[in-house]
Chain A
Amino acid sequence: METPEQTVMERLEQGTAPPPEAELPPAHTFEVKNMSIWYDKKRAIDNVTMDIATKHVTAIIGPSGCGKSTFLRALNRMHELTPKTRLEGTVLLQGQDLYSSNIDPAIVRRRVGMVFQKSNPFPTMTIGENVIIGLRLNGVRDRKFLNERLEKSLRMAALWDEVKDDLHKPGTSLSGGQQQRLCIARTLAVEPEVILMDEPCSALDPIATAKIEELIYELKTNYTIVTVTHNMQQAGRISDFTAFFYMGRLIEFGATTKIFTNPTEKQTEDYITGRFG
């Protein structure tokens, strides 16, 4: 262990750490193959194939209407809530076809949680009730278990210290940033495998945004995270991989550092440098 008092020579004699073992490519939580989605006759997603790495953050960027939110929502079948939608292709979650006829969408949404652009705590519920509502709806009644999960979820969402004495207050009494973290705690309470985030910071101030970004960084040690963002700098800060969508097509997908320093496709370069249109 190095100490500040060590001389340069002592540090050199101690030797440098052995080089890290060659990094294995990450496993994939999602394997999306030839996905196309239509809203009635309008094609929103056009033949997208991409794999989403386990316990990494994948950012989806692109101009408004490019299909990024549709793609995100298709990862937990939320897009089906819009009438007249149709999907072609396959979406495998841990190798299991999400769109197989024997799969219950409710189960999918428990395994793949979602946080929205605008925080949406249930207005009639307290902070505590908001967090454990998912478990209650799934029939969990054990109070001790619920209390433990409540605290654990709020701690993981970095909100526990701020609300532990106010759990009985309405969820809507919190600030915008706290409400968004409450929604993340609600998502975490049902222990999903994946967290989808649709512009989770777009309605927040810089401090609340920084807290959410820090939280995303911590959560990726346990969860696979896919986030949609319009904020290029945020995508650069928080994500390991970035996908650029344009007019429903996946234009480029790769390591975030590569995309933001030397993208392969001219369309990506034009978009991220602000030369579009």
Chain B
Amino acid sequence: MVIPKHILGTFDEVLTSLRKDLLMMAGLAERSLDRALKGLLQRDDDLCANAIADDEEIDQLEKQIDKDGFEILLRFQPVASDLRRVVSAIKLSPNIERVGDQATNIAKRARKLNRHPPLPEVEWIVPMQAYAMSMFKDSINAYVRENVELANSVCSRDKQLDDMNRDANKKLTERMMEDKDQLRGYFNLLLVSRALERVGDHATNIAEDAVYTAAAEDIRHKGSLIAST
């Protein structure tokens, strides 16, 4: 999508810089999530440590995006699509930061699991991992490309991930009752499943902001509005 340049070149520069920081942050969060899950599935503590280390940089970028976003609002008083892009960047970054937090949570749980013999039930996480990762990647792509269709598809996929989490919880709880020696292990897997479900929630939030950025349409909480009327 080609956006004409502003007459004020410095405005283009700061908007580009904000966008680059956001993409860098999303890239780091994606890498951190990928490392944490590989650390879990491949029982690799080094990958888990790398995932946890990425979080610091993600946190710093969140602060940088806030600072730059506020400075753009102050210095350039953007309107219309520029305003939506800047406000969305400020709103998006906490969601990306929390995806990074979930990656850290998964990495920490994986390290605990790696101290004990492998659990075959870890395979239950694989489809959820692929699903949550694709939602996150698509949500960022939808924002970057201002693709409303892709963003809407992310939002509609969240329920499927919720169902997958519920199934995993049910099965893991059953396993906990059957095999009390592995209680801690199953509990850690349950928390991994929960973290992936939260990644889906953050991806949905990002996708909702992507729709607002592209089409100035607020699609949040539409279900609750229908339910209350």
Contact of A262 among B4, B78, B80 (CB under 8 A): B80
Q: Check A233–B80 contact: CB distance below 8 A.
A: no
Contact of A261 among B5, B6, B11, B79 (CB under 8 A): B79
| Stretch touching chain B among A103-111, A176-184, A268-276 | A268-276
Q: Check A272–B80 contact: CB distance below 8 A.
A: yes
Q: Check A261–B4 contact: CB distance below 8 A.
A: no
Q: Check A273–B77 contact: CB distance below 8 A.
A: no
Contact of B4 among A233, A268, A272, A275 (CB under 8 A): A275
How many residues of B are counted as interface, with CB atoms below 8 angstroms from the partner's CB atoms? Answer: 15
Interface of A is mostly: helix
Instruction: Please indicate the chain A residues that have their CB under 8 angstroms from the CB of B4 in the complex.
Output: 270, 275
CA distance A274 to B83 in the complex (A): 12
Task: Give the shortest distance, in Å, between A57 (CB) and chain B (any CB).
Answer: 18
Q: Check B84–A273 contact: CB distance below 8 A.
A: no
B53 within 8 A of A: no
Known: A262-B84, A275-B5. 9 other contacts (CB 8 A): A236-B79, A261-B84, A261-B216, A269-B81, A273-B82, A274-B7, A274-B11, A275-B4, A275-B7
- CB pairs A–B below 8 angstroms (19 shown): A232-B77, A232-B79, A233-B77, A260-B79, A260-B80, A261-B79, A261-B216, A262-B80, A262-B84, A262-B216, A269-B80, A269-B81, A270-B4, A273-B81, A274-B6, A275-B4, A275-B6, A275-B7, A276-B7
A4 within 8 A of B: no
CA distance A275 to B8 in the complex (A): 8
CA distance A262 to B212 in the complex (A): 10
Which 3 A/B pairs are nearest by Cβ-Cβ distance?
A262-B216, A260-B79, A275-B4
The proximity string for B residues 51-85 relative to A, scoring 1 for CB distances below 8 Å and 0 otherwise, is 00000000000000000000000000111111110
Contact of B7 among A233, A263, A272, A277 (CB under 8 A): A277
Residue of A nearest to B84 (CB): A261
Q: Check B5–A273 contact: CB distance below 8 A.
A: no
Contact of B79 among A272, A276, A277 (CB under 8 A): A272
Instruction: Please indicate the chain A residues that have their CB under 8 angstroms from the CB of B8 in the complex.
Output: 274
Instruction: Please indicate the chain A residues that have their CB under 8 angstroms from the CB of B79 in the complex.
Output: 232, 236, 260-261, 272-273
CA distance A260 to B4 in the complex (A): 18
Instruction: Please indicate the chain B residues that have their CB under 8 angstroms from the CB of A263 in the complex.
Output: 80
CA distance A260 to B83 in the complex (A): 9
CA distance A263 to B7 in the complex (A): 19
Which residues of A193-241 are within 8 A (CB) of B?
232-233, 236
Residue of B nearest to A266 (CB): B4
